[in-house]
A and B are shown apart, each in its own frame.
Chain A
Amino acid sequence: MSTTTHHPLFTLVIIVGGLLHGFGLAYSRMARPEIVLDFLQLEDLGLLFVMGGAALVMGFAIHLGTGVLEIVPLTGNRYAKREKSYDRNVVVGGIVFGVGWGLSGICPGAGYASLGIGNYEILWGLAGMFIGAYLQGLWRARRDSTDRESPATGD
């Protein structure tokens, strides 16, 4: 995740990936908070296939990258798995995120996609996400200034 390469194809790859990702979020109906809430209220478990299908494709890509290709063509870096360090933040963050997701039916990626299908009401949710991200930045800045031994966390 260390690259800022300005390879001519870099931005094109990001755009193509984003288009496919956003198309999928809309096609899967995850961009509709109602559908997500139906899943969380256990009325339609179809969303399991969204996460499962997506993880299956990405699992294949990670296998291909780390096991076969090894070197990234555009950057020369090595492919890696997604392994974040495990600590209490993972637990606290998961719980806090769960409360928000259960209340609103929105998450970041689906929120951006929701805007794409014309859902201007989602701006309330997107504003909330930015406010939340800002609040945790404020909180961490305050904590770090009082706690000289602050481990670096997050992505």
Chain B
Amino acid sequence: MNAMLLSLLAELFPRGITQYLVGGLFVGLGIAVIYLGTGIIAGNSTLLETTLSYVSDLPRFQRKKYVRSRDWRVVFALSIVAGAALYGLVFTPGIFVTDVQWWRLLGGGVPVGIGTRIGKGCTSGHGVSGIASLSRTSIVNVLLFIGVAIVTALIAAALGVTP
């Protein structure tokens, strides 16, 4: 029985869970520090629209709350880049470059940009803070995007797209 459980765990979590759990705690801690310090629930996808307000006159991007928050959102994103770089320097010297093909990144990035903005959030806004708030809106959004993403990834794999 024990052996069965262990082999099931090894199958579901072939890389173990430590790095996922520890990483997740830090992911949450970062948003929690900002929340407790400022009251702001920082999401990541809003950066896309607010940053466009620097270069586009479209009213969608020029809304007051976007223009007011765009500066700190850029600081937040740059700090995320720096935090990840810090991890890289300390734990995995040398740079990581993905093998996932450029057209997948570009072709997937476009619907990510559209979908997070229409859907009011992404994996951090809905997936972490929204879930933490037990928000029905976020729970629906997260279940949908995880489900659709799994189907999409399985189809891509079945079509022989690797990686």
Contacts and interface: CB of A to CB of B under 8 A. Distances in A.
Contacts of B163: 34, 37
A130 B113 contact: yes
A149 interface: no
A75 to B, nearest CB: 6
B160 interface: no
Given A34-B99, A128-B109, A46 B20 contact: yes
Contacts of B84: 22-23, 25-26, 31, 112-117
Main secondary structure of the interface of A (DSSP, over half): helix
Interface in B98-130: 98-100, 102-130
A124 B108 CA distance: 10
Interface string A114-142: 11111111101111111111111110110
Interface string B1-29: 00000000000111111011111111111
B52 A94 contact: no
Nearest to A21: B30
Interface in A90-114: 90-114
A122 B77 CA distance: 15
A86 B79 CA distance: 31
A122 B27 CA distance: 20
Interface string A2-46: 111100011101111111111111111111111001001111111
**Interface range, A side:** 35 or more
Nearest to B158: A41
A136 B77 contact: no
A148 interface: no
B123 to A, nearest CB: 4
Contact of A130 (B48, B99, B128, B135): B48
Closest A-B pairs by Cβ, 10 of them: A93-B119, A128-B109, A132-B113, A28-B23, A104-B108, A18-B79, A118-B95, A102-B152, A22-B83, A98-B148
29 contacts: A3-B39, A4-B69, A9-B37, A17-B79, A20-B83, A21-B31, A22-B79, A26-B23, A30-B23, A44-B14, A54-B28, A55-B129, A61-B132, A85-B137, A89-B120, A92-B115, A97-B112, A100-B111, A101-B112, A102-B152, A108-B122, A110-B123, A113-B81, A125-B108, A128-B105, A129-B109, A132-B113, A135-B114, A137-B60
